[in-house]
Structure formats: C-alpha cells, structure tokens
Amino acid sequence: MSFTSIVMSYKENCKAEGEIMTKFKIARGYYSNKHSQKDIAVKIGCHKNTINKIIKLCRERGPDDEMWAYLKEKILISEDKLNSVFSFLKGESRRPNKCQLGFKEDSREEKLVIEKFNDCKYGYKRMFRHLKKQGYDVQSTYTLGNIKGVYRRNKFKVRKFRSANGERRALYDYDLIAAFEYLQYDTKEIADMHALPAHIYAKFKNGKKLPGYQWTIIDAKTKIRFLAWSHTRSSLFGVRFLEYVIYWLRSHGIDTKINIQMDMGFEFYSGSKRKQKKWNNHFSKLNAYVYDTEGAKWKQNLVERSHRTDDEEFYCPRGSMMNTKDEFFLEAQFWIIYYNSRSHSGIGMNGLSPKQKLEKLGIINADKICNFPCLILDDFFKPFQSFFNIEISQEKLPLKSQNVLTPYLLVDNSNNLC
C-alpha cells in the first residue's frame, strides 16, 4: 500500500478514506518507496508543504516507535491499529475553542433583537440597517455578527419567494439601463386594514381632512421615488401627475427617453389600446412612452415593494401624528426627502441611497432632483381648470407666463386623454 493507491486528490481522498489513512499512504510512499515530496504533491494535487508537514510529524517520533515497522516495511495493518498507532497524524480542529453566537442568552440586547424580529420579520442584514437608523450602537454592540448569532441560535427564518427552479430573475438589466430610462407608476389606497393598525386605518378611511390615495412613480435604476396624494382617483390626476414628473426631470437636465410602466387601472387608461395610443401621441412630445403590464402584477415589483415600505416606515410610525392637512403635508414632504436619502438593498444599489446612486452616475444636481415637492393633486390641478381660460391657445401660453409649469397644468382639449 503506497500513495500510488490514492487515485483522487488529497482533499477528496481524506473525505473518502479518512484523514489518517490518506496521510499514512503518503508517509509510506516517502519512506518505503523512496518517492520525493515534490512528486507526491504533484501526484495527489496538494501543496508540497502539506507533504512536508506529514513527514516532519513522523520524524519527530522516536526511532523505537512501533510506527516505523509499518512505514518501512509493507506490513498489513488493521483499521483499529492504524487509528491507534498513527493517531498523531490527525490534524487539530480549527474551530474556535470558545465561540459565542451573538449576545449572551436572555440578555437585554438579545431580547431587543428578538422583539424587533417578531414585529418586523426582517432578515439579519436588514435588521442591522434598521437598528443603525434607530440610533443603536452598531459599531461595538449590535454588530452584524452579533445579530446573525441571535438569528442562528433562535433559528429565525425569513419567508422568501423564489422561482420554481430557484433562479433569481431580474426584470431589468440594471447594468445597462440609464437613470430614469424605466419608471414604474402605480397608485395605493392608504387605508389598508392588512397593513395599518386599527386607529390609523380608521383615520385615513373615515377622515375627510387626510388624503385617501398615494400616487407613486419609482425609477428602476436609482430607486428614486416621486410621490403625490389625492382624495379621489381619476385619470385626470393620472395624466397630470405623470406630466409633472416628466417636466420635473426635463427641467433638471434629464434628456433620456423615459419608458413608464403602469397597471391597467382606470386612473390610467384601463388597458385600452386606443387610449394608450392617445397617451403615447401626447407624451411623445416629451420623448416618453407609456405601456402597461398586461395583467402581470409581478412586473410592478419595485413600486409594489415600495408601498410596503410606506406602510412600515411612514404610515404606521407617523400616522398617529397626522391629524390635520397641514400636519400630513409636513410629514409627507419629509418622507419624500427621507426615502430618497435612505440606504437601499435592491439589485445594483449595494447599500447606497437613491441620491447617492444618482450622484455616482454623474448627475451633478441629484440633490435637487430628489427634493421633489409634496403635492395634493386635488388642490394643485383642479383649481387651474377653472382659473385659466381653457380656450387660450397652448402656443400663446409661453408668451403670457414664464412659469415652467404652465404648459402642462392646463387641460388640452385637442387630446382628450382622461
């Protein structure tokens, strides 16, 4: 028996025959068959230092040791005898002698992590970011390793949704698309009994002072969001808010063709190909194109996921402070600015905030783009319908006003989009 009987690589043979048997064959090949250490290393695919360490362990044994009879002579040896005589060849475990998983059991820190997990069901990485935003000491106390240890000890698992074959399929090629090249557009009814506490749900459901709907446009590349609110849903708001956002981007130097995806809701064009054509004839002047999901709700993944963030980080914690229209307006404006400045774990974001991602792409006025104004659509657009004379030609409007918003605040009777 010599190392020539090792037909697999060193590591694979250790798994198949055991570490002691593999090393015994190597030592016998060196002492009995007079093979060089380099030849043995090349033959079994390991580093020569591994062979040298085995030979060195054997040389350290005394000349009268029983093992020499088996190494220098081709004497058969039983498995029990092998494990007894050559036990010194077995490597020491690299496992730490003392390895504590996270905090001490039942400590105050561990109870805090468990409590927050039960409330939020976050993964350990998101829990780390959450505690960091809450002001906890993540440098020395609530480190990522400590939080992960608590999760492992308590066997916390986060529910994941995966495809049938386990692959993760991205909706966009995030490396190739440009900022604001692809937008997702959707509305959300704020009063959702599956997401909000009872008292906050009742406040938005029955209160007349607070808006009932949120309008969201999110950029696929940078995850920047543009938000507005309204008391009612209508296609008038659907058109005008989208116009406002496009003009906002154009006024800040964004000249990329913009592709906007939306669902088949009545606040848009209800999936009608005839209305879609009218919308595209209108928005083609702004180098923009609209299309719908054709009923595939998963295609709205980014905007739908952001609605969950709205519930968890805006309406639930701040809803009790919104009792008047002014209070809501103030909270909503801060929320727009905060969301565009918070870290994001989406594909291609690498923990950057939307604003940081935009700056990394070379957009010099990223801060101005992210500071989008809070809009209550009922108060913003409807008054212009009665205030301005609708019969004024759109061509003459720039002569009467230098306001950059004027051209798209009016209803264009030549294109009945609503």
351 burial level (CB within 10 Å; 0-12, 13-18, 19+): exposed
**Residues whose CB is less than 8 angstroms from the CB of residue 156 and which lie 6 or more positions away in sequence, other chains included:** 117, 124, 150
Query: Computed over its alpha carbons, how large is the radius of gyration of the chain?
Result: 33
Sole residue written with tokens 């190909």: 273
For residues 145 and 108, the answer to whether their CB atoms sit within 8 Å is: no
Ramachandran quadrant class, 374 (left: phi over 0; alpha: psi -120 to 50; beta: rest): beta
CA dihedral in degrees (314, 318, 324, 329; nearest 10)?
-40
Whether pTM > 0.95 for this model: the answer is no
Q: What is the pLDDT along the chain (418 residues), one digit of tens a residue?
A: 455 577 788 888 888 888 888 888 888 888 888 888 888 888 888 999 999 999 998 988 888 888 888 888 878 888 888 888 888 888 877 766 666 667 788 888 889 999 989 888 888 888 888 888 778 888 888 898 889 888 988 888 887 666 666 666 788 888 889 999 999 999 999 999 888 999 999 999 988 889 999 999 999 999 999 999 999 998 889 999 999 999 999 999 999 999 999 998 888 988 889 999 999 999 999 999 999 988 888 889 999 999 999 998 999 999 999 999 999 999 999 999 999 999 888 888 888 999 999 999 999 899 999 999 999 998 887 665 555 444 444 444 444 444 444 444 444 444 466 6
Cβ atoms of residues 210 and 321 within 8 Å: no
The angle that helices 37-44 and 19-31 make with each other, rounded to 10 degrees, is 140
C-alpha triplet 268, 308, 201: angle, nearest 5°:
85
Spell out the residues 6+ positions from residue 368 whose beta carbon is closer than 8 angstroms to its own: 252
Count Cβ atoms within 10 A of the Cβ of residue 1 and give its class: 0-12 exposed, 13-18 middle, 19 or more buried.
middle
Collect all residues with Cβ–Cβ distance below 8 Å to 414 and sequence separation of at least 6.
none
Ordered structural domains, the chain, with CATH: 3-89 (no CATH), 97-160 (no CATH), 182-409 (3.30.420.10)
